[in-house]
């Protein structure tokens, strides 16, 4: 996983009595870190990601605006689910559909793993995370050079699942952002919506006054339907809104099968 990408970093989850496995898979811009209690289900997750990428690439050839638009796109006719997910997420957050690409692939991969027999699965795609299961999960937040980077995390309880935890940044990584947030983390029921929302929130974090810019990001988050809340980090400042998972120290020990 590229260390220069902002985002939530998968660290551990607690599974009593079960073995826990980890696998990585990369293809072009897609970089999956898969953590699950079922090896065969991990292969199903990778296959779902491959299919999603193929569908996206094929659609973009015929519809280049879907790739480059910074505004929501209206689809024509019936399309593959990943295309529908990205377009819907973009519409909800008021951004282009490709703002949801990493989250949508992660979400589909996680769902495929569950369908293949996994009880617990976490898919991280370049810092954007989809989690489904019946156990507690913990993720750490990477925010570049910000004071709190990799010092804070989220404790995702069973009651929070399923969940998407996605991040956008104006100071770290290659994603398009018009804001100055070191990390804008959005939380939603699924990762596609969280991914698009994170982009919209990060875009709103503007201005020289760091505290005020965080407030602008939170105001933007409040206007996005279907998200639970957000966490914004800029410099030495942090702001949070809504029903995000409990914020914890990220320097916790790896346990329950993780190395």
* Domains detected in the chain: 7-249 (3.10.520.10)
Whole-number pLDDT of residue 10: 42
Whole-number pLDDT of residue 162: 97
Helix (H) or strand (E) holding 22: strand 21-27
Cis amide linkage into residue 66, ω under 30° from 0: no
Whole-number pLDDT of residue 254: 39
181/234 Cα distance (integer angstroms): 5
Measuring CA to CA, which residue among 228, 253, 111 is closest to residue 160?
Answer: 228
Whole-number pLDDT of residue 239: 95
Measured on CA atoms in the order 138, 225, 148, 179, is the torsion positive or negative? positive
Measured on CA atoms in the order 165, 170, 173, 175, is the torsion positive or negative? positive
124/103 Cα distance (integer angstroms): 9
For 95-245, strand residue ranges (E) read 121-125, 128-132, 136-142, 152-156, 163-168, 183-188, 227-234, 237-242
Phi and psi torsions of 206, nearest 5°: -130, 160
Give the DSSP per-residue string, 71-93. Answer: S-----S---HHHHHHHHHHHHH
131/189 Cα distance (integer angstroms): 9
pLDDT per residue rounded down to tens, the chain (259 residues):
233 344 544 444 444 345 789 999 999 989 999 999 999 999 999 999 999 999 999 999 999 999 999 999 999 889 999 999 999 999 999 999 999 999 999 999 999 999 999 999 999 998 899 999 999 998 888 655 545 555 688 999 999 999 999 999 866 555 666 688 989 999 999 999 999 999 999 999 999 999 999 999 999 999 999 999 999 999 889 999 999 999 887 764 433 332 2
**Alpha-carbon distance values, 97 to 155, 168, 179, 228 (Å):** 29, 14, 18, 20
50/34 Cα distance (integer angstroms): 14
17/37 Cα distance (integer angstroms): 10
In this structure, what token pair is assigned to residue 141?
């937040």
CB under 8 Å to 201, separation ≥6 — which residues?
Answer: 168, 181, 184, 186, 217, 218, 220, 221, 224, 230, 232
Q: Determine contact, residues 93/193, Cβ cutoff 8 Å.
A: yes
């Amino acid at each position: 996983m590229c260390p220069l990408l902002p985002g939530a970093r998968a660290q551990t989850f607690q599974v009593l009595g079960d073995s826990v496995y980890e696998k990585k898979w990369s293809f072009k811009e897609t970089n999956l870190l898969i953590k699950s209690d079922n090896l065969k289900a991990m292969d199903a997750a990778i296959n779902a990601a491959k299919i999603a990428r193929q569908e996206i690439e094929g659609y973009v050839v015929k519809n280049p605006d879907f790739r480059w638009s910074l505004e929501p796109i209206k689809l024509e006719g019936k399309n593959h689910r990943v295309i529908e997910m990205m377009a819907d997420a973009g519409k909800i957050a008021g951004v282009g559909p490709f703002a949801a690409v990493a989250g949508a692939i992660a979400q589909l991969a996680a769902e495929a793993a569950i369908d293949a027999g996994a009880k617990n699965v976490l898919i991280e795609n370049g810092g954007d995370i989809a989690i489904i299961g019946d156990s507690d999960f913990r993720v750490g937040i990477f925010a570049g050079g910000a004071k709190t980077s990799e010092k804070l995390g989220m404790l995702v309880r069973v009651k929070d699942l399923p969940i998407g935890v996605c991040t956008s940044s104006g100071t770290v990584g290659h994603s398009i952002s018009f804001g100055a947030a070191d990390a804008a983390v959005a939380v939603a029921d699924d990762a596609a919506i969280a991914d698009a929302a994170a982009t919209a929130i990060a875009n709103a974090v503007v201005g020289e006054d760091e505290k005020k810019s965080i407030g602008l990001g939170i105001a933007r988050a409040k206007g996005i339907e279907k998200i639970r809340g957000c966490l914004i980090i800029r410099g030495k400042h942090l702001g949070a809104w809504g029903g995000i998972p409990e914020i914890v120290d990220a320097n916790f020990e790896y346990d329950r099968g993780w190395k």
